[in-house]
Structure formats: C-alpha cells, structure tokens
Amino acid sequence: MAATQVWTIGSLLTWTTDFFTKKNIDEPRLSAELLLAHALKCSRMHLYTQYERVPPDDQIAAFRELVKQRSNQVPVAYLIGKAWFFSLEFNVTRDVLIPRPDTETLVEFVLQHVRQRLEWPIPGGSTGEAAGATGPVILDLCTGSGIVPITLAKRIATSTLTATDISPKALAVARENAEIHKVTERITFLEGDLFEPLAKMAAPTLYHIITANPPYIPTKDVAELPPTIRDHEPRLALDGGMDGLAFHRRIIEGCRPYIHAGGMLVLEIQFDQGPAVQALMTAAGFFENIRTLRDAAGHPRCVVGQVVRS
C-alpha cells in the first residue's frame, strides 16, 4: 500500500481485497470491509456511501496496521474486538473463542424445544430455583464469551440462566456482553471447572436444560489446526484431551445431580464424534431419546439426550 498514493475508501477496499486474496486470507472482501470500517469508526454500509472520500492519514495508518496483522493470520474478530452470533454483536478478546455459526445448531434446538413446552413445572423441595419461576432454568458450561446463555436470554424472556467457565478472563468478557445486551439480571456467571461452582452451593439448582460447547479437538490434532485458530485462539478452549472427549465424558458423568428428570443435555461435538458421545450417554444409564443433530451444512454438530423420567 503505497504511502504516496491518494487513497479513497473505494481504492483501499479494492487494493486490500486483492492483497488478501494473494495471501490466501479467508473472505478477503469481508475482511477488508470490517477492518476499514473499524479503522474509520463507521459501519460497513457507510463505506459504500462514502466511496470516493479520502480518509485522514491517521486512519489510513491504523488501517494499514490492521491489514498487516490480518495478513499474518490474526483473526478479524480479535483485531476489531467484535463478532456476530445469531444476528447479535458480541465483544471478543483473545481470552475467548470466536463465535461460529456451528453453535447456532445448539441454540436453535434449545429454542425449538422450549417452544414445544407450555410450562416448566418445578418440583417441590429444596431445588434452588427462584420462587415463582415460570420459564426454563438453563445451565451453560464452558460459556466463553457468553454467546449461548445471552442469546437464549434474549430469545426466551421467561428463562433463568447460569453460566460457568474456568477462565476468569473469559467470564469478564461474558459479563460485559450480558451488560451490553441487558440480560444481567437473568444470568448468573460462576467461575469454576464445569459443575464445580455448583457443587459448592448448599442447595444446588436443578436445570431443565444443560448446554455446553466444550473443548473437543483431540490433543494431537491441535497443532494441525489452521493458523488463525492454532496460533491465536485460546488452547484452553480447544484441547479436548487425548480423544477430544474428556469434557464430554465429565459432563455426561457429572450432570445427573443438576438436571431435572425429563431434562435435556445438549453437547456440541466435532463432526465425527457423534457415535462416541451417544455411546457415552447410553453407558451413563439415565438418558433416553439420544440423538445427533446436524447443522445447516448437514454435518453432525450436537448430541442430545433426555434424562429418564422417574
């Protein structure tokens, strides 16, 4: 990008798209638009209404630095600090995974399941639910940036949610996103490993639905991931142990004290893990209606099991 050339918004987009294409950067035009809009502090739509405008030198310099980092495989989401999920905007940092459309399969299933329920009866006794609760009580494990519980809270007005994560930095991002989307009053964020923070409660809540997008990449495969993922996204949120199922195994084995009879467990998986996760649920001995859900592209994406009714 020659410093002496007069750069309009249009020419910046054209040059950068060509440059990214030569560098084999994914979605070169979209990357160029998002980075330029960020540098110019405007929306992508405004880029096209100001195509002939010449941005000031400091904004061009900021854009040039962003282009340099993107050409080194730094994900756009980390460069602009934003990502989108279910048409909602979320803040992201390098402490959390970048939201992906794959996880929408999990959210869509939960929304459909909730729509089919007319009520959410709460059994008597010390179950920990708030008195008078009428909607589903949902737990999200490995919550990361909070996209799953926040999206569910936005779409299910009667829901009450809890979200856990072992990373305090990830939880800070999730809490910030909950504040942005004005759902902090209905989501409780807890720091700890899976069910650990719940086990410390005197009267643990029973949940109607438990969701998780846990780490599921086998340890040996992490090094083979694309550089945008391998070199930049948190390994803590990627590495699923020797077979990629270390967290699925622990969630399935440990969920029973925290889920209602008839409640649903929904786990995101890698495309080839469906049979193994279904087998884990079957072996646990308290699930029925076990099945694998496919994403929009037809790939296996989640395994669902329903706790047997007493």
- Per-residue pLDDT of 194-235, as tens digits, reads 999 998 887 778 999 999 999 999 999 999 999 999 999 999
Q: Whole-angstrom Cα distance, residue 236 to residue 7?
A: 41
Please give the residue that has the higher pLDDT: either 115 or 76. 76
Q: Is the pTM of this model over 0.75?
A: yes
The most confident of the ranges 42-46, 118-122, 274-278 is 274-278
Are 148 and 241 contacting, i.e. CB atoms less than 8 angstroms apart?
no
199's CB contacts (< 8 A; 6+ apart) are none
What pLDDT score does 14 carry? 96
Residues written for the chain? 310
Q: Is the pLDDT of residue 43 over 80?
A: yes
93-123+132-307 is a CATH 3.90.320.10 domain: no
What pLDDT score does 118 carry? 57
36's CB contacts (< 8 A; 6+ apart) are 9, 12, 13, 16, 47, 63
pLDDT tens profile 140-182 = 999 999 999 999 999 999 999 999 999 999 999 999 999 999 9
Closest residue by Cα to residue 241 from 272, 211, 220? 220
- Tokens read off for 180: 């942005």
> What are the sequence ranges of the domains in the chain?
9-72, 93-123+132-307
What pLDDT score does 121 carry? 53
